[in-house]
Structure 1
Amino acid sequence: MKLKHLFLGLFIGLAFTAKAQNNSKEVLFTINDKPYYTDEFIRVYNKNLDLVKDESQKDLNQYLDLFVGYKLKVNKANKLGLQDGLQYQNELKSYRIQLSKNYTTDSKVTKELVDEGYKRLLKEVNASHILILVDENATPADTLAAYKKISSLRERVVKGEDFGALALEFSQDPSAKENKGNLGYFTSFKMVYAFESGAFNTPLGSVSKIVRTRFGYHIIKVNDIRDNRGEITVAHIMIMKPKEAADSLTAKSTIDAIYKKIQQGEKFEELAKQFSEDKSSASKGGVLSRFSSGQLSSDEFEDQAFSLTKEHPISAPFESQFGWHIVKLLDKFPIKSYDDSKVELENKISKDDRSRLITNSLTEKLRKKYPTKRDSKLYSSLVKLVTNDFYEGKWTLPENAKSFSGTLFTVGTKKLTGTTFLDYVYSQQKSNITVKPVDKLVDKLYENFADDQRNQYNNDNLENEFPDFAAVMEEYRDGLLLFDLMDKEIWQRSKTDTIGLKAYYETQKEKHLWKTRVNTEIYSSTDLETMKSVLAMLKKKQTPKDIKEKFNTKEVLKVMSYEGVYEEGADALPKGTKLELGLSEITNKGDYYFITKINKVIPAGIKTFEECKGKIVNDYQQYLELNWVNELRKEFTVKVNQDTFEKVKKQIKK
């Protein structure tokens, strides 16, 4: 599979940029009477022109031969039925889903959300909130009661009552009992989108308008705004806060003693392993996972960590709610640039509440693009069939459902029947839609059904509406087939046809030659006196092992040596090496001195089959492919319209 991705990688990347170059087209050639048109040939030629290294392939006559050969292979693949393979169909479907995203999202809204997300990412907001819980599907009465309650609390805050005291008393966020509603610092994508917008759109020191999220109603007070501090990696040593207050002095004296050891030069990591009581990090030398503001449960710890610099990387002992700490800065990661953040932000948006804005924008466009008019009489009949059993998941399709198979509405050229809508209603019983009464429920389901059908029709119609999309899909479809065909007809055969490979080698072996080679030992050092001693030892027939043991230790590597068979002119051989048996004199290049000991000289000659097998396999593949294409030209009837081709030449050369 990896090979297939590699084979298609460049091809797919180029396909994204493919555009219809010319709306007019003529038949350039046929294969068994199947036409291939000038517009495709011109588009593909222009697209690949700058990538072709072989100048001969830029020649239009040569390129036409290549293009016809390519289409012959695709025809062969279809003739063999490779297009019916389940794996092929699944891969093609998966790719189409990925490609269609470029055509079925609102790029303008996406860009606006990326811009907004990045702008907010540059800041951190410290905010408090009061929450009154209410479910998204709550009854109107419950929703109204919650709204009135949050409204009265906002009025009290505006009139001057203390926000924290009200949060402590009335907020239904359980954490308010501990933090009086203060959520600390956060930036974009850390909270649900509606809450984030409420915080970032509220001026410093002010209280927001009422904000609705899936949790309920909120009011938000902005306590502080600062520049985003980015992310940081630190290590720490912690002495836990003792349960008994009387023991707190012992904890403080312990952390002070550790700090003194650090100041005396002892290694932070070793002290963390020995003394830190944070068991999750102590064994790693105190190293914590990379974090940003608001990710830890201690403002004191975060503030101390972010205050560290390369010049002052270790903090003095400080206290948090968990105990006493010493923190060491390991690395800081500032906010990335807009361009470097764009893809990551787009990915976050796709998984975030704000993605609904993109979906809703596209839905509105499709409603205008594909207006529908439903059959009122048929619809009224359908509404009467749905009962309150739907809310309990017990509603069943009526026995006479097929009698409602008339057209309910049309999207483009696609007709949707009453029966199809009933099937949709039946499938939605577990979707938690609780709209009441039942006729309003059916209206909601109809609206969702119509929107789904518009989206589906729009997606199915992309090839007809966007020539560039159709071209890319055609190229990818052919590319997948070609890979499977080449694997079947060429690549596997070239690897397994041992007799054919060796026979081909016999016809090509004169092209695969060794220069003169030497089996040699090479010694090097930056110290001339050391090399003089090495030369003396080699003259006494001492071994590389003897030499390394004499000059090298665990701490110092004075002499390096390596042994191998090298061809004349190889980079591994010191410059000027004479291909003669025996020891060389000491030579010099830059800071290094060399001695070469040649143990054997191997004359120039033909490489064995095993010595050049990789190159032979590659050449054999090309040989098989060339002969195979010639066979395909006999199997299929190819007719080129030369007059049309001459027009194409003139058009391209303009």
Structure 2
Amino acid sequence: MNHRTVSAFVVTLQIAFLLNFPLSTIAQSTGDALLTVGGKPVDKDELVYLISKGKSTGAQSPGISREEFEENLELFINYKLKVREAEALGLEKTEEFSREFSSFKETLIRPYLIKNSLEEGELRKAYSRMQEVVRASHILFQFPPNASTEDSLIVLKMALKVKGEIENGGDINELAVQYSDDPSAKINKGDLGYFTGLQMVQPFEDAAYTLQAGQVSDPVLTNFGYHIIKVQDRQPNPGQVRVSHILVRFDAENPTQEENARRKISDIYAEIQKESTVWEDIVKTYSEDPATNQRGGLLPWFGVGSMIPEFEMGAFSLTEIGEVSPPLKTQYGYHILRLEEKKPIAPFEEMEENIRSRILRDSRSGMIQSQVVAIQKARYGYQEDESSVSRLAQILNPVEKTSFASEVTSQSLDKAPLFTLQGKTYLVSDLTTYMDGEEISSKHTGGTFDLWFDRFVAKMLAQTEEKDIESNNKEYQMLLKEYHDGILLFSLMNQEVWEKGIADSLGQAEFYRKNLDRYQWKNRIEAFLVKVLDPSQAENARKKLQGNGYNQTLIEGFEADYQANSPLAYQTEWGVFEYPDHPVLSKIDTQLSYQEIQSDGSLYLVLTGQKIPAGPRKFEESRGLVIRDYQEYLDLSLTESLKSKYPIQINPQVKEETFLALNQ
């Protein structure tokens, strides 16, 4: 439920009521504990953490007054009593608690993990690169199918040879037509246009962003092959644009068609220059883009690297809203563009999740994970038994997962060592146990042992890091305890107060009978109130209402008439009202059936009817209030019973230290 996403102390503040009992401060030999709840110590750091957290989000002034401290201490004790009871009832041993707490742990620990800091670094680097756009040309040298090491060397030598030609004055674009294995080079001569961060595969992007305009890279290896890259230009990122366009298509293989299209687009451009021309009409009449010609040619927002280079450069060359470009040619035909809107690159906070998603979908995610594993190995004393692992790989790589465990047993490999982590040695038997509980896609390459060994190592390292954080990171410990206790508190309150208060109809009725004085009507009256919103319509309302009293038929007729003919003239309400404290009805003469009242600068026309004297509400009329009050009663009763069950003892010295700590 959504309640559980709220921090434990906030939940406590929401549901707890200030207690009317004195908190006895009894000196106890409980060490540094602030207090004990039924003999169980509670550290002062927990109260300091919770109060400080609340103050940091809400208070404008530092420190806390003595009165505030005492109030918060009472609420804290109330909170710890209920957590203590939830633990005693075994609520933390339920499957529901385990599932929910595990889910919270997985989320809460993320900011403290090595992986998070590495991801943050990649996010910042990607966003930094997005501040600039790069225009580059490249030549691709692909490997032949099933390439050998010798084949790879031949491709590398060819890439180095062509790089030399470029450095000796060769034109990379002409050489791309001659040498590049990129099919698009026949059309664009290797010119990739402008691009920015996260639009190219990582090795290509890394290389391009290290080059200045005019520089040529060494061969860059990607999954496509080797690339020679020359950066032509670098510019600040212009952000995003939105344009509308007119398209005239032609068949590139048909020169006559192209010439006809060129003439047509020129005529359209001339027509656009006339002052009387309406852009949307021209688009609808002439544009051959069926996806946009019925809506003014409007295209979605786009940034650098999202469109074909010619179109993109034409769009970003426009500077004024409404400016129209001269005709430009792309592989799709001739276009005329009109600039509709421009906006700069969004702030990091707006782009963060999108950047994270894109990073985690490309090769950077694998790079981050490799770095995480390397840091974890160094930090936690990972030592691999290389000779044992090498022997096991030879024996077990060819074995399918389904036969892995039986093969290990048949060859007596269960006790073979794999690695040591924080002084503990992991064996092949540990690996087989891990494999039994895991699944993996059948679409993988490499040997069975290598695949599962790497996954097992990563899993054990991750568990070790999490245990380390739980043991040594004070902030995380406090956060984890807050959510642990918060879930327990919610479960207890739901069981003993909230659900019980709603479901216990007999208890509600008994509470109602014992507290009937709480559920009393004041003097009431039937009334129809017409607030005049349009003073010019006041007389019209008077004619319909004056001389009448409260009458349901009259009210319905008035409502139907004004809703149909002048719905903004009046605001109405009717029914039975407690009138002594009503802002309008408190001013009426109850002996008059029709009257006019001025209230808060507005005119009200009021019809009144039967008067009902003060008296008790029926149970059904009070059910919502009764349930609320009954839940409050159950909460206070629970707290009182817990005070007897779990005596509270406060260490006065530590209490004072806590107060001083909150005011440093």
**Common fold by TM > 0.5:** yes
Deviation at 1:148, TM superposition (A): 1.7
Deviation at 1:173, TM superposition (A): 2.1
- Using a 3 Å threshold, how does the CA distance of structure 1 residues 419 and 560 change in structure 2: closer, same or farther? same
1:37 to 29, 43, 47: 43
Query: Quick one: distance in 2 between partners of 1:479 and 1:399?
Result: 47
Query: Quick one: distance in 2 between partners of 1:149 and 1:113?
Result: 33
- Using a 3 Å threshold, how does the CA distance of structure 1 residues 30 and 485 change in structure 2: closer, same or farther? same
Query: Quick one: distance in 2 between partners of 1:176 and 1:571?
Result: 81
- 1:248 corresponds to which residue? 261
Query: Quick one: distance in 2 between partners of 1:623 and 1:52?
Result: 29
Query: Quick one: distance in 2 between partners of 1:6 and 1:409?
Result: 42
Q: Are 2:502 and 1:489 equivalent residues in the alignment?
A: no
Deviation at 1:411, TM superposition (A): 0.9
Query: Quick one: distance in 2 between partners of 1:127 and 1:425?
Result: 47
Q: Are 2:135 and 1:123 equivalent residues in the alignment?
A: no
Query: Quick one: distance in 1 between partners of 2:232 and 2:607?
Result: 79
- 1:288 corresponds to which residue? 299
- Using a 3 Å threshold, how does the CA distance of structure 1 residues 535 and 453 change in structure 2: closer, same or farther? same
Query: Quick one: distance in 2 between partners of 1:44 and 1:25?
Result: 21
- Secondary structure at the aligned position of 1:36 is classed as strand
Aligned counterparts, 1:152-551, within 5 A: 152-236=161-245, 238=247, 240-241=249-250, 244-245=257-258, 248=261, 252=265, 255=268, 259=272, 264=276, 268=280, 277-282=288-293, 286-297=297-308, 299-300=310-311, 303-304=314-315, 307=318, 309-310=320-321, 312=322, 320-323=330-333, 329-338=339-348, 340-342=350-352, 344-346=354-356, 348-374=358-384, 378=388, 382=392, 385-386=395-396, 389=398, 397-405=407-415, 407-420=417-430, 432=444, 434=446, 450=457, 452-508=459-515, 510-511=517-518, 519-525=527-533, 528-529=535-536, 531-532=538-539, 535-536=542-543, 539=546, 543-546=558-561
- Using a 3 Å threshold, how does the CA distance of structure 1 residues 573 and 174 change in structure 2: closer, same or farther? farther
- Using a 3 Å threshold, how does the CA distance of structure 1 residues 41 and 563 change in structure 2: closer, same or farther? closer
- Using a 3 Å threshold, how does the CA distance of structure 1 residues 38 and 144 change in structure 2: closer, same or farther? same
RMSD (CA atoms): 4.7
Aligned partners of 1:522 and 1:563 also within 8 Å: yes
1:626 to 616, 636, 645: 636
- Paired amino acid for 2:46: E
Aligned partners of 2:383 and 2:419 also within 8 Å: yes
- Using a 3 Å threshold, how does the CA distance of structure 1 residues 595 and 408 change in structure 2: closer, same or farther? closer
Aligned partners of 2:283 and 2:296 also within 8 Å: yes
Deviation at 1:379, TM superposition (A): 5.0
Query: Quick one: distance in 2 between partners of 1:558 and 1:639?
Result: 64
Deviation at 1:203, TM superposition (A): 0.9
Structure 1: gaps spanning 5 or more residues: 13-23
- 2:15 corresponds to which residue? none
- Paired amino acid for 1:248: A
Query: Quick one: distance in 1 between partners of 2:573 and 2:377?
Result: 75
Deviation at 1:182, TM superposition (A): 1.9
Q: Are 2:638 and 1:649 equivalent residues in the alignment?
A: no
CA offset digits 1:329-375 (Å, max 9, x no partner): 55433212345545554554444433455444433333332234455
- 2:23 corresponds to which residue? none
- Using a 3 Å threshold, how does the CA distance of structure 1 residues 429 and 57 change in structure 2: closer, same or farther? same
Deviation at 1:412, TM superposition (A): 1.0
Deviation at 1:266, TM superposition (A): 5.8
- Paired amino acid for 1:334: P
- 1:84 corresponds to which residue? 93
- Paired amino acid for 2:376: L
Greater relative contact order structure (CA < 8 Å, 6+ sep): 2
Aligned partners of 1:391 and 1:434 also within 8 Å: no
Deviation at 1:492, TM superposition (A): 1.7
Aligned partners of 1:231 and 1:290 also within 8 Å: yes
Aligned partners of 1:131 and 1:173 also within 8 Å: yes
- Secondary structure at the aligned position of 1:223 is classed as strand
Deviation at 1:324, TM superposition (A): 5.4
Aligned counterparts, 1:62-101, within 5 A: 63-101=72-110
Overall identity of the aligned pairs, in %: 24
- Secondary structure at the aligned position of 1:368 is classed as helix
Deviation at 1:113, TM superposition (A): 3.3
- 2:596 corresponds to which residue? 584
Aligned partners of 1:516 and 1:567 also within 8 Å: yes
- 2:24 corresponds to which residue? none
- Using a 3 Å threshold, how does the CA distance of structure 1 residues 130 and 361 change in structure 2: closer, same or farther? same
Deviation at 1:220, TM superposition (A): 1.4
- Secondary structure at the aligned position of 2:99 is classed as helix
Aligned counterparts, 1:25-64, within 5 A: 26-30=32-36, 33-48=39-54, 63-64=72-73
- Using a 3 Å threshold, how does the CA distance of structure 1 residues 646 and 118 change in structure 2: closer, same or farther? same
- Using a 3 Å threshold, how does the CA distance of structure 1 residues 594 and 639 change in structure 2: closer, same or farther? closer
TM-score (norm 2): 0.76
- Paired amino acid for 1:164: N
Deviation at 1:188, TM superposition (A): 0.9
Structure 2: gaps spanning 5 or more residues: 13-29, 549-556
Q: How many residue pairs align between the two structures?
A: 621
- Paired amino acid for 1:100: I
Deviation at 1:458, TM superposition (A): 1.8
- 1:2 corresponds to which residue? 2
CA offset digits 1:225-265 (Å, max 9, x no partner): 222221234444545447845753795489569858x9648
Query: Quick one: distance in 2 between partners of 1:414 and 1:604?
Result: 82
Query: Quick one: distance in 2 between partners of 1:483 and 1:471?
Result: 18
- Using a 3 Å threshold, how does the CA distance of structure 1 residues 407 and 414 change in structure 2: closer, same or farther? same
Deviation at 1:573, TM superposition (A): 5.9
Aligned partners of 1:186 and 1:293 also within 8 Å: yes
Aligned partners of 1:305 and 1:327 also within 8 Å: no
- 1:16 corresponds to which residue? none
- Paired amino acid for 1:5: T
Query: Quick one: distance in 2 between partners of 1:621 and 1:137?
Result: 73
Query: Quick one: distance in 2 between partners of 1:113 and 1:154?
Result: 30
